[in-house]
Amino acid sequence: MLDIDRANEIALDRMMSARPILRTVARAGDVIPGMGERMLLHAGPPITWERASGPMRGAIVGACIFEGWVADAAAAEALVTAGGVTLDPCHHHGAVGPMAGVTSPSMMVYVVENVTHGNKAFSNLNEGYGKVLRYGAYSDEVLARLRWMNDVMAPVLAGALALSDDGLDIRALLAESLHMGDEGHNRNKAGSILYTAKLAPLVVRAAPDAETAAGVLKFLADNALSVLNPVMAACKAMADAGHGVEGSTIMTTMARNGTDLGIRVSGLGDRWFTGPAGQPDGLYFPGFTVADANRDIGDSTITETAGIGAFAMAAAPAIVTFISGTPQDAMNATLEMYEITATEHTAFTIPSLGFRGTPTGVDIRKVVELGITPRINTGIAHKEAGVGQVGAGLTRPPMSV
């Protein structure tokens, strides 16, 4: 007879003992397992072009142009609908990507290794806010930025990490940033500062000249989300360590593709359980309203899966200025998540709660019993391809999942 509680203990011990180290930056097609040269990875559960949302379609178009497969949007749509490109979830390949999450073979990605259990995880590079590929934008400006990131910044970061003392410990960085006002998902200001500070002396040594070093450091320092993508890969490495434990009812994946939200459970293999992605409730940039918003999208809910993000909002009261609400709402969000999780994280703690560990390990039994679904912090994409980010807010998965 299966002992579910014991199975959950094993899964959670593996998740929390995982130590994700950022090792390098490398070409996606060379390091991501099973990634073909005519494959695009995307956020969330499986999706087809026909069911894809505007921002997802826009990111797919942009990636096809970036790769040089096509010259324009019409040709990209024709290529994809004719089967000339395979679409597959990032999660099927040990990877994650924010918002649309589209990753193409030539894109450079972060490589994170869980040194405790040996598994690896991957994520693309963060472009910053506004009109960016991950929100479905694919203008010349967007593609030029991507090419600079790929051709100039990525080799410098790879060189910097090679000069580091055995990589960067992302779990330790996260633990520190939670004590500095971050929650690890929508607020990464402290973490990005720590990340840039750790890399800065290495970037100066790795860059071919001072101008290149200055450009890379300015790009990292100007982007309060610089660390989000390595954090996501770290959370993926931690969550995957707890996946595949027979009998476990712990959620090890939660992801959205702009149309559907899907979860996977440790003891239920790689099967997706899906429902409609939610409509975020939040704050909008000037000139935009909820009428402009797409449904929730992105793999970044791997942060909540690992015990941070919306689950750690009590550590980040200032986040409400970005996603709406009050500091008390942030506190209440964390307290509610203790109701549906199986443990408290041993590495991630919240000062305002007496250094209590963050609520970790959503137990689907508790979700069903209490009728409480996981909270999600999220950016909001415009529903039309090419516009970009229009706000940020909160949502939850549907109980139907």
* pLDDT above 90: residue 288: yes
The confidence band for 341, taking pLDDT boundaries of 50, 70 and 90, is: very high
* Strand (E) or helix (H) holding 24: strand 20-27
pLDDT digits (tens, 9 = 90+) for 114-171: 999 999 999 999 999 888 999 999 999 999 999 999 999 999 999 999 999 999 999 9
Backbone φ and ψ for 301, nearest 5 degrees, come out as: -70, 0
Return the closest-CA partner of residue 102 out of 58, 72, 38, 142: 58
User: For residue 2, what pLDDT is reported?
Assistant: 79
Q: HEC profile for 74-119?
A: HHHHHHHHCCCCEEEEHHHHCEECCCCCCECCCCEEEEEEECCCCC
Q: What is the pTM assigned to this prediction? A: 0.97
Write the CATH number of the domain with boundaries 246-395: 3.90.1700.10
- Residue 1 is predicted with a pLDDT of 59
Q: How confident is the model at residue 386 (pLDDT cuts 50, 70, 90)?
A: confident
Of 391 and 121, more confident? 121
398: confidence class by pLDDT, cuts 50, 70, 90:
very high
Q: Between 225 and 389, where is the model more confident?
A: 225
* CA 210 distance to own-chain centroid: 31
User: Residue 34: which residues within 8 A CB-CB, separation 6 or more?
Assistant: 92, 93
Please state whether 244 falls in left (phi above 0), alpha (psi between -120 and 50) or beta: left
pLDDT at 143: 98
CATH superfamily label, 4-231: Enterococcus faecalis V583 domain (3.90.1710.10)
How do residues 237-254 score in pLDDT, each as one tens digit? 999 999 999 999 999 999
pLDDT of residue 401: 87
Query: In this structure, how many other beta carbons lie within 10 angstroms of the beta carbon of residue 136?
Result: 34
Taking alpha carbons only, the member of 194, 195, 216, 202 closest to residue 148 is 216
CA dist list (Å): 267 to 3, 279, 353: 12, 29, 31
Rounded to an integer, what distance in angstroms lies between the CA atom of residue 379 and that of residue 390? 8
Q: Encoding tokens for residue 218? A: 């300015």
For residue 180, name the pLDDT band (cuts at 50, 70, 90).
very high
pLDDT at 182 over 70: yes
Per-residue pLDDT, 294? 97
Q: How confident is the model at residue 11 (pLDDT cuts 50, 70, 90)?
A: very high
Q: Is 59 helix (H, G, I), strand (E, B) or coil?
A: helix
Q: Is the dihedral of CA 180, 181, 182, 188 positive or negative?
A: negative
**Cβ neighbours of 48 (radius 10 Å):** 10
Residue 272 has pLDDT above 90, yes or no: yes
How many angstroms from the chain centroid is the CA of residue 364?
Answer: 21
The mean pLDDT of 24-30, rounded to a whole number, is 99
pLDDT (0 to 100) of residue 30: 98
pLDDT tens, 314-329? 999 999 988 888 999 9
Q: Is the pLDDT of residue 90 over 90?
A: yes
What would you report as the CA-atom Rg of the chain, rounded to the nearest whole angstrom?
A: 19
Predicted local distance difference test score (pLDDT) of residue 269: 97
Query: Domain residue spans in the chain?
Result: 4-231, 246-395
Averaged pLDDT of the chain = 97
Mean pLDDT of 365-393: 93
Q: What percent of the chain has pLDDT over 70?
A: 100
Q: Which two tokens stand for residue 36?
A: 């073909």
